[in-house]
Protein backbone atom coordinates (compact mmCIF):
# COMPACT_ATOMS: atom_id res chain seq x y z
CA UNK A 1 0.00 0.00 0.00
CA UNK A 2 1.44 3.38 -1.01
CA UNK A 3 2.32 5.89 1.68
CA UNK A 4 1.34 9.54 1.40
CA UNK A 5 4.97 10.40 0.62
CA UNK A 6 5.11 7.85 -2.21
CA UNK A 7 1.85 9.21 -3.64
CA UNK A 8 3.27 12.75 -3.66
CA UNK A 9 6.49 11.51 -5.30
CA UNK A 10 4.52 9.75 -8.00
CA UNK A 11 2.32 12.80 -8.60
CA UNK A 12 5.41 14.99 -9.01
CA UNK A 13 7.00 12.64 -11.55
CA UNK A 14 3.70 12.25 -13.41
CA UNK A 15 3.42 16.04 -13.64
CA UNK A 16 6.94 16.27 -15.05
CA UNK A 17 6.04 13.60 -17.60
CA UNK A 18 3.35 15.96 -18.87
CA UNK A 19 5.48 19.12 -18.77
CA UNK A 20 8.88 18.00 -20.07
CA UNK A 21 8.21 15.93 -23.25
CA UNK A 22 6.62 18.81 -25.25
CA UNK A 23 9.73 20.97 -24.78
CA UNK A 24 12.36 21.20 -27.52
CA UNK A 25 15.40 19.13 -26.54
CA UNK A 26 17.62 22.22 -26.18
CA UNK A 27 15.12 23.91 -23.85
CA UNK A 28 14.70 20.78 -21.72
CA UNK A 29 18.44 20.33 -21.26
CA UNK A 30 18.98 24.04 -20.54
CA UNK A 31 16.36 23.82 -17.78
CA UNK A 32 18.04 20.67 -16.48
CA UNK A 33 21.43 22.37 -16.23
CA UNK A 34 19.85 25.23 -14.29
CA UNK A 35 18.21 22.74 -11.95
CA UNK A 36 21.48 20.88 -11.45
CA UNK A 37 23.25 24.12 -10.58
CA UNK A 38 20.54 25.00 -8.05
CA UNK A 39 20.73 21.60 -6.35
CA UNK A 40 24.53 21.88 -6.11
CA UNK A 41 24.36 25.32 -4.54
CA UNK A 42 21.67 24.11 -2.10
CA UNK A 43 24.25 21.58 -0.88
CA UNK A 44 22.34 18.35 -1.55
CA UNK A 45 24.97 15.56 -1.21
CA UNK A 46 27.62 18.17 -1.97
CA UNK A 47 29.87 17.07 0.90
CA UNK A 48 29.89 13.47 -0.37
CA UNK A 49 30.62 14.67 -3.89
CA UNK A 50 33.53 16.90 -2.92
CA UNK A 51 34.98 14.25 -0.60
CA UNK A 52 34.92 11.69 -3.43
CA UNK A 53 36.62 14.17 -5.76
CA UNK A 54 39.27 15.06 -3.16
CA UNK A 55 40.25 11.37 -2.93
CA UNK A 56 40.12 10.87 -6.70
CA UNK A 57 41.95 14.05 -7.73
CA UNK A 58 44.21 15.13 -4.84
CA UNK A 59 46.49 16.88 -7.33
CA UNK A 60 43.74 19.27 -8.44
CA UNK A 61 42.83 22.49 -6.68
CA UNK A 62 39.67 22.82 -4.62
CA UNK A 63 38.30 25.23 -7.23
CA UNK A 64 38.86 22.66 -9.99
CA UNK A 65 37.12 19.95 -7.99
CA UNK A 66 34.15 22.23 -7.31
CA UNK A 67 33.93 22.93 -11.05
CA UNK A 68 33.86 19.16 -11.75
CA UNK A 69 31.23 18.70 -9.04
CA UNK A 70 29.00 21.41 -10.48
CA UNK A 71 29.30 19.81 -13.91
CA UNK A 72 28.38 16.43 -12.46
CA UNK A 73 25.17 17.85 -10.95
CA UNK A 74 24.27 19.44 -14.27
CA UNK A 75 25.04 16.20 -16.10
CA UNK A 76 22.89 14.09 -13.77
CA UNK A 77 19.98 16.54 -14.02
CA UNK A 78 20.28 16.45 -17.81
CA UNK A 79 20.24 12.64 -17.88
CA UNK A 80 17.10 12.41 -15.74
CA UNK A 81 15.39 15.20 -17.69
CA UNK A 82 16.17 13.44 -20.97
CA UNK A 83 14.61 10.25 -19.62
CA UNK A 84 11.38 12.16 -18.98
CA UNK A 85 11.69 14.03 -22.28
CA UNK A 86 12.03 10.73 -24.16
CA UNK A 87 8.48 9.72 -23.23
CA UNK A 88 6.41 9.60 -26.38
CA UNK A 89 9.41 10.08 -28.67
CA UNK A 90 10.00 7.57 -31.44
CA UNK A 91 13.13 5.46 -31.67
CA UNK A 92 14.10 7.51 -34.72
CA UNK A 93 13.79 10.80 -32.82
CA UNK A 94 15.89 9.50 -29.93
CA UNK A 95 18.38 7.95 -32.32
CA UNK A 96 19.11 11.39 -33.75
CA UNK A 97 20.88 12.19 -30.48
CA UNK A 98 23.21 9.21 -30.84
CA UNK A 99 26.44 8.76 -32.79
CA UNK A 100 27.78 5.19 -32.95
CA UNK A 101 31.33 5.20 -34.33
CA UNK A 102 31.99 1.70 -32.90
CA UNK A 103 28.78 -0.08 -33.92
CA UNK A 104 30.71 -2.57 -36.09
CA UNK A 105 32.33 -3.89 -32.91
CA UNK A 106 28.90 -4.55 -31.40
CA UNK A 107 27.69 -6.33 -34.54
CA UNK A 108 30.82 -8.46 -34.77
CA UNK A 109 30.72 -9.60 -31.14
CA UNK A 110 26.99 -10.34 -31.19
CA UNK A 111 27.42 -12.37 -34.39
CA UNK A 112 29.58 -14.86 -32.46
CA UNK A 113 26.33 -16.32 -31.15
CA UNK A 114 27.31 -16.48 -27.48
CA UNK A 115 25.24 -13.53 -26.36
CA UNK A 116 26.73 -10.23 -25.26
CA UNK A 117 27.21 -8.60 -21.87
CA UNK A 118 26.62 -4.87 -22.50
CA UNK A 119 28.17 -3.04 -19.56
CA UNK A 120 27.82 0.70 -19.03
CA UNK A 121 27.96 3.12 -16.09
CA UNK A 122 26.32 6.17 -14.52
CA UNK A 123 28.14 8.31 -17.05
CA UNK A 124 26.83 10.84 -19.56
CA UNK A 125 23.51 9.79 -21.08
CA UNK A 126 23.13 6.25 -19.74
CA UNK A 127 19.32 6.47 -19.63
CA UNK A 128 19.29 6.72 -23.43
CA UNK A 129 20.53 3.12 -23.73
CA UNK A 130 17.07 1.47 -23.95
CA UNK A 131 15.29 4.12 -26.02
CA UNK A 132 18.05 5.59 -28.17
CA UNK A 133 21.00 3.22 -28.43
CA UNK A 134 19.52 -0.29 -28.54
CA UNK A 135 16.96 0.54 -31.28
CA UNK A 136 19.70 2.21 -33.32
CA UNK A 137 21.84 -0.91 -32.89
CA UNK A 138 18.86 -2.93 -34.06
CA UNK A 139 18.74 -5.22 -31.04
CA UNK A 140 16.77 -5.01 -27.77
CA UNK A 141 18.41 -5.66 -24.41
CA UNK A 142 17.45 -7.26 -21.13
CA UNK A 143 18.72 -4.86 -18.48
CA UNK A 144 19.55 -5.75 -14.88
CA UNK A 145 18.14 -2.88 -12.82
CA UNK A 146 17.86 -1.80 -9.20
CA UNK A 147 14.17 -1.57 -8.31
CA UNK A 148 12.97 1.74 -6.90
CA UNK A 149 11.53 2.01 -3.41
CA UNK A 150 8.42 3.70 -4.79
CA UNK A 151 6.54 0.99 -6.67
CA UNK A 152 4.51 3.37 -8.84
CA UNK A 153 7.60 5.26 -9.98
CA UNK A 154 9.38 1.97 -10.57
CA UNK A 155 6.54 0.81 -12.84
CA UNK A 156 6.62 4.14 -14.70
CA UNK A 157 10.37 3.89 -15.28
CA UNK A 158 10.01 0.27 -16.34
CA UNK A 159 7.46 1.26 -18.95
CA UNK A 160 9.81 3.91 -20.35
CA UNK A 161 12.76 1.53 -20.46
CA UNK A 162 10.88 -1.41 -21.95
CA UNK A 163 9.63 0.34 -25.05
CA UNK A 164 11.05 -0.87 -28.35
CA UNK A 165 11.31 -4.50 -27.20
CA UNK A 166 13.61 -4.12 -24.18
CA UNK A 167 12.99 -5.88 -20.87
CA UNK A 168 14.27 -5.54 -17.30
CA UNK A 169 15.53 -8.02 -14.72
CA UNK A 170 15.44 -7.07 -11.05
CA UNK A 171 18.87 -7.05 -9.45
CA UNK A 172 19.09 -9.88 -6.95
CA UNK A 173 20.08 -13.50 -6.46
CA UNK A 174 17.91 -14.89 -9.25
CA UNK A 175 19.84 -15.29 -12.51
CA UNK A 176 17.62 -17.61 -14.54
CA UNK A 177 16.38 -14.90 -16.89
CA UNK A 178 19.90 -13.52 -17.43
CA UNK A 179 21.13 -17.02 -18.32
CA UNK A 180 18.26 -17.46 -20.77
CA UNK A 181 19.16 -14.18 -22.48
CA UNK A 182 22.81 -15.14 -23.01
CA UNK A 183 22.06 -18.73 -24.03
CA UNK A 184 19.62 -17.35 -26.57
CA UNK A 185 22.31 -15.11 -28.08
CA UNK A 186 20.78 -11.93 -26.66
CA UNK A 187 22.11 -8.79 -25.02
CA UNK A 188 22.34 -8.63 -21.23
CA UNK A 189 22.82 -5.02 -20.14
CA UNK A 190 23.71 -3.41 -16.85
CA UNK A 191 25.62 -0.65 -15.07
CA UNK A 192 28.88 -1.72 -13.52
CA UNK A 193 29.73 1.17 -11.20
CA UNK A 194 27.17 0.84 -8.41
CA UNK A 195 28.52 0.06 -4.95
CA UNK A 196 28.15 -3.61 -4.19
CA UNK A 197 27.51 -5.11 -0.74
CA UNK A 198 30.28 -5.75 1.76
CA UNK A 199 30.68 -9.24 0.31
CA UNK A 200 31.30 -7.92 -3.22
CA UNK A 201 34.61 -7.93 -5.07
CA UNK A 202 36.84 -5.08 -3.95
CA UNK A 203 38.81 -3.71 -6.91
CA UNK A 204 40.75 -0.45 -7.32
CA UNK A 205 38.80 2.57 -8.50
CA UNK A 206 40.55 5.94 -8.35
CA UNK A 207 43.16 4.58 -5.97
CA UNK A 208 40.79 3.06 -3.41
CA UNK A 209 39.25 -0.42 -3.18
CA UNK A 210 35.58 -0.19 -4.16
CA UNK A 211 32.93 -2.85 -3.56
CA UNK A 212 31.90 -3.94 -7.06
CA UNK A 213 29.25 -6.40 -8.22
CA UNK A 214 30.79 -9.55 -9.72
CA UNK A 215 27.70 -10.54 -11.70
CA UNK A 216 28.41 -9.16 -15.17
CA UNK A 217 31.96 -10.52 -15.24
CA UNK A 218 30.74 -13.88 -13.91
CA UNK A 219 28.06 -14.17 -16.60
CA UNK A 220 30.55 -13.29 -19.33
CA UNK A 221 33.09 -15.86 -18.19
CA UNK A 222 30.69 -18.69 -17.39
CA UNK A 223 28.79 -18.50 -20.67
CA UNK A 224 31.59 -17.33 -22.95
CA UNK A 225 29.86 -14.07 -23.82
CA UNK A 226 31.99 -11.07 -24.81
CA UNK A 227 32.02 -8.28 -22.23
CA UNK A 228 31.57 -4.92 -23.96
CA UNK A 229 32.13 -1.66 -22.06
CA UNK A 230 29.85 1.06 -23.44
CA UNK A 231 30.42 4.74 -22.63
CA UNK A 232 27.82 7.38 -23.59
CA UNK A 233 29.66 10.71 -23.60
CA UNK A 234 27.70 13.95 -23.95
CA UNK A 235 29.19 16.25 -26.60
CA UNK A 236 29.13 20.04 -26.79
CA UNK A 237 26.34 19.94 -29.40
CA UNK A 238 23.98 18.13 -26.99
CA UNK A 239 24.29 14.81 -28.79
CA UNK A 240 26.12 11.68 -27.58
CA UNK A 241 29.15 9.79 -28.82
CA UNK A 242 28.94 6.12 -27.86
CA UNK A 243 32.27 4.35 -27.38
CA UNK A 244 32.45 0.56 -27.21
CA UNK A 245 35.46 -1.47 -26.07
CA UNK A 246 35.62 -5.20 -25.46
CA UNK A 247 37.11 -5.89 -22.04
CA UNK A 248 40.30 -7.91 -22.42
CA UNK A 249 40.14 -11.40 -20.91
CA UNK A 250 43.55 -12.65 -22.00
CA UNK A 251 45.22 -14.89 -19.44
CA UNK A 252 41.96 -15.82 -17.70
CA UNK A 253 41.60 -19.56 -17.45
CA UNK A 254 37.94 -20.08 -16.57
CA UNK A 255 35.12 -18.74 -14.45
CA UNK A 256 36.62 -19.21 -10.99
CA UNK A 257 36.61 -16.56 -8.29
CA UNK A 258 40.05 -15.17 -9.18
CA UNK A 259 39.12 -14.89 -12.85
CA UNK A 260 35.83 -13.14 -12.04
CA UNK A 261 37.54 -10.64 -9.72
CA UNK A 262 40.25 -9.97 -12.28
CA UNK A 263 37.75 -9.32 -15.09
CA UNK A 264 35.85 -7.05 -12.71
CA UNK A 265 39.08 -5.19 -12.02
CA UNK A 266 39.71 -4.78 -15.75
CA UNK A 267 36.30 -3.38 -16.62
CA UNK A 268 36.48 -1.01 -13.64
CA UNK A 269 39.91 0.22 -14.77
CA UNK A 270 38.54 0.81 -18.28
CA UNK A 271 35.69 2.88 -16.87
CA UNK A 272 38.11 4.90 -14.76
CA UNK A 273 40.07 5.81 -17.87
CA UNK A 274 36.97 7.35 -19.47
CA UNK A 275 35.91 9.10 -16.26
CA UNK A 276 39.36 10.68 -15.93
CA UNK A 277 38.98 12.08 -19.45
CA UNK A 278 35.58 13.68 -18.72
CA UNK A 279 35.11 13.63 -14.93
CA UNK A 280 32.14 15.99 -14.85
CA UNK A 281 29.91 13.39 -16.53
CA UNK A 282 30.17 10.72 -13.80
CA UNK A 283 27.90 10.41 -10.75
CA UNK A 284 30.26 11.63 -8.02
CA UNK A 285 27.40 12.12 -5.55
CA UNK A 286 27.02 8.32 -5.32
CA UNK A 287 28.56 6.73 -2.19
CA UNK A 288 30.79 4.53 -4.31
CA UNK A 289 33.35 3.83 -1.58
CA UNK A 290 30.98 3.39 1.38
CA UNK A 291 32.36 -0.07 2.23
CA UNK A 292 36.04 0.75 1.71
CA UNK A 293 36.81 1.31 5.41
CA UNK A 294 35.13 -2.01 6.27
CA UNK A 295 37.27 -3.78 3.68
CA UNK A 296 40.54 -2.19 4.79
CA UNK A 297 39.84 -3.02 8.44
CA UNK A 298 39.61 -6.71 7.53
CA UNK A 299 42.98 -6.81 5.77
CA UNK A 300 45.91 -8.39 7.62
CA UNK A 301 48.40 -5.93 9.10
CA UNK A 302 52.03 -5.74 8.02
CA UNK A 303 53.04 -8.17 10.80
CA UNK A 304 50.47 -10.71 9.57
CA UNK A 305 47.92 -10.23 12.35
pLDDT digits (tens, 9 = 90+) for 182-222: 999 999 999 999 999 988 999 999 999 999 999 999 999 99
pLDDT at 305 exceeding the cut of 80: no
Per-residue pLDDT, 304: 56
Per-residue pLDDT, 22: 96
Average pLDDT, the chain: 95
Stronger pLDDT, 70 or 303, i.e. the higher one: 70
pLDDT at 275 exceeding the cut of 60: yes
Q: How confident is the model at residue 149 (pLDDT cuts 50, 70, 90)?
A: confident
Q: How confident is the model at residue 174 (pLDDT cuts 50, 70, 90)?
A: low
154 touches 131 (CB < 8 A): no
pLDDT in tens, 12-64: 999 999 999 999 999 999 999 999 999 999 999 999 999 999 999 999 999 99
Q: Against a cut of 0.85, is the pTM above it?
A: yes
Q: What are the sequence ranges of the domains in the chain?
A: 4-290
Amino acid sequence: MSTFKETLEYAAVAALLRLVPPLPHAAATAAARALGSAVFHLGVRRAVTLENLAHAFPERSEAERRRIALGAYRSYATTITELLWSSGKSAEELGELIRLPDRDRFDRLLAQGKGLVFLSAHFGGWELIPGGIMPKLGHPAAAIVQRQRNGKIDAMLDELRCRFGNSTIAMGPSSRRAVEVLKGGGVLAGLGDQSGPKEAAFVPYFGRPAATHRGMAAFALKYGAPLLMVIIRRAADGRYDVFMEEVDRSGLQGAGEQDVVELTRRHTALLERYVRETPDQWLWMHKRWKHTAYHLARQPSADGR
